[in-house]
Amino acid sequence: MSFIPIIVGVGDVRNKAAQESIEPVDLMLEAIRLSLIDCNLSHLNSQRLKSDIDSIDVVACSTWPYPDLPGLASERLGVDAKHKHYTPNMGNQPVKLLNDMARRIVTGESKVALMTGGETLASLRKLEKAKKFPPPKWTKPEQDMNTLYSPNSVDLLDGTSRIHTIGTPVQVYPLFEAGFRAHRHQSYKDNMKESAALYGEFAKVAEKHPKAWSYGEKTETVGTIGTVTNRNRMVYSPFYNRPNYYSSPAISQALDSGLENSGLTKEAIDMFDFYSCFPIVPKLACEHLGIPQTNWAKPITLLGGLTSFGGAGANYSMHAVVEMVQQLRSAHSKCNGLILANGGVASYENTVCLSNCPRQDGLPYSQDNIVLETPAELPCPPFDKQAEGPVIIE
């Protein structure tokens, strides 16, 4: 017998109270509490549902190192989850977890599955500024706070990356931007305008979202995003051994596979949410699907991207799941949505298609773990580790 995975409750939290700094596990527990309320059950049935939780997955928390975060969450909830998992620190993980949970439901391995995540970057910065770090009432950290992982640290680079001190996301994504621009014969000025227009649209979405960090505040505009100032400084304008820097096989394959395995076409999707730590990710997704970057007929973000919604770290796309579920519920007709979650440097991609109606083809949710590997023999241009010769500076 094959069971049907259904999302029964969702919840998310934004804590911006200046006087109250809440540690990540407590944010997660509050989101879980809200998700149980969201199930719209009586108190007794809500307690029964909670006691049936047999699976807890937690997206890696980059702002506070817990010895065993899934175990701590399980203990604090008062449940005995037989499956407990903590992910790597990558942005594709929330959607990967959702697929893994769904497959366990389908096979009967799990009855009630839970996934959660949370970050407290702003709170920690506030505490450091107030000289209250580390916060005395928080869970004792597993490691020295000075050794925490930072996605933009050059300390972890090796090989060619270390030679040239380049390889962090803030450096590599601009390489994609430059490659995509050159591939389309686009001028530097036009590319800047394009990126500003895209993120201007994203900012408009975020300013209306109650859980966005920028909600209720004056948001960025196309003009402010595209103008270099002391506050909005130029960081990098525009991996090696890639076929090119104007496309991402991982993004393309994830989008195609997600649609195919859901029995849907891109035309059947009513809303998208493309993970966006840098403009190039939604640009590449739009290019592959043949949909516009701005003036959308269908939204390509439900949150506004990390830049405007807030830096939820690897957990960003879990907020997208919450928002998409809520929008699908309130839709007055059949509706489908697709979420693309990005990890690494456009190298680890996961998609999920959500719907408020059954599949038209009647097929069950796949029990297979669909993992597509980019062929190792994919032709790559030669890379000179110590280049000599003329260079063009724009």
Domain 167-355 has CATH 3.40.47.10: yes
What tokens were used for 274?
């493309």
Q: CA 338, CA 357: separation in Å to the nearest integer?
A: 14
Residue range(s) of every CATH 3.40.47.10 domain in the chain? 24-137, 167-355
Q: What is the pLDDT of residues 248-278, one digit of tens each?
A: 888 999 999 999 999 999 999 999 999 998 8
Range among 62-76, 219-233, 303-317, 362-376 with highest mean pLDDT value: 62-76
- What's the fold here for domain 24-137? Peroxisomal Thiolase; Chain A, domain 1 (3.40.47)
Sign of CA dihedral 309, 195, 152, 376: positive
3-state secondary structure at position 304: coil
**Which residue(s) pair with 84 in the sheet?**
56
> With 0-12 CB in 10 A as exposed, 13-18 as middle and 19+ as buried, what is 69?
buried
Q: CA 158, CA 165: separation in Å to the nearest integer?
A: 9
pLDDT value at residue 241: 43
Rounded to two decimals, the pTM is 0.85
Q: CA 302, CA 206: separation in Å to the nearest integer?
A: 8
Least confident of 17-31, 53-67, 144-158: 144-158
Question: pLDDT over 90 for what percent of the chain?
Answer: 51
Residue pointed to by tokens 């196309």: 222
pLDDT-based confidence at 237, cuts 50/70/90? very low
Output the furthest CA–CA distance in the chain (Å, rounded): 73
pLDDT value at residue 344: 85
Q: What is the pLDDT of residues 33-70, one digit of tens each?
A: 999 999 999 999 999 999 999 999 999 999 999 999 99
pLDDT > 70? residue 165: no
